[in-house]
A and B are shown apart, each in its own frame.
Chain A
């Protein structure tokens, strides 16, 4: 079945440094979503990308959908302690029910 992998699994940065997490799917995705889960919380939707090569920005966060629609990235510029959490990508699995499946997640730790 389809797999969605994220790298790295864990990243520790100093506050002010940049951070990037990469999401790779074994199959083409019709769209990709990104979620953030704070420690002790539940995942919260950040953004959805639909078009090949699409780039969207939310303040210090930049999201990109690959040309082949099989990979995506999330880049955070000048991290802050409020960025701490696990970032998940997710996409429809393209199967009979086209359910959304989540990537393995990247845990970001930010040292002040």
Chain B
């Protein structure tokens, strides 16, 4: 079956522009996570969706970052007024529940010029 799909795989944009990153989780997975990973660093938690519950946004670094998950499936992460420090790989993961193994997408490599 299909795994977690993320698009685009690469995104290069100018500082100040808005970007939208998309994540298509595995069908039936109720939990969806967004992480940010800078080169050689660990996984920085951004936001967590679980079913119909209010998302856990405690990891979003600023109000320029937002995410939504429509119909309990596809999720988009939006970064407004991008800054150079936003350059990183953005990883999405989905799972059957909060304590279940996570399945990661290949990520979106974001570069801000």
B103 lies within 8 A of A30 (CB):
no
CA distance A92 to B53 in the complex (A): 17
With contacts A97-B53, A100-B33 known, is A45 near B91, CB below 8 A?
no
Q: Which residues on the B side are within 8 Å of A102 (C-beta)?
A: 35, 42-43, 45
Q: Which residues on the B side are within 8 Å of A88 (C-beta)?
A: 42-43
Whether a CB of chain A sits under 8 angstroms from the CB of B101 is yes
How many chain B residues touch A (CB < 8 A): the figure is 22
Q: Which residues on the B side are within 8 Å of A43 (C-beta)?
A: 43, 91, 93, 102, 104
Q: Which residues on the B side are within 8 Å of A73 (C-beta)?
A: none
* B3 nearest CB across to chain A (Å): 10
* B29 nearest CB across to chain A (Å): 13
* B5 nearest CB across to chain A (Å): 12
CA distance A30 to B100 in the complex (A): 12
Quick one: CB contact mask for B36-63 with A, threshold 8 Å, 1 for yes?
Answer: 0000101101001010010010000000
- Chain A residues proximal to chain B, CB less than 8 Å: 30-31, 33, 35, 41-45, 48, 88, 90, 92, 96-105, 107
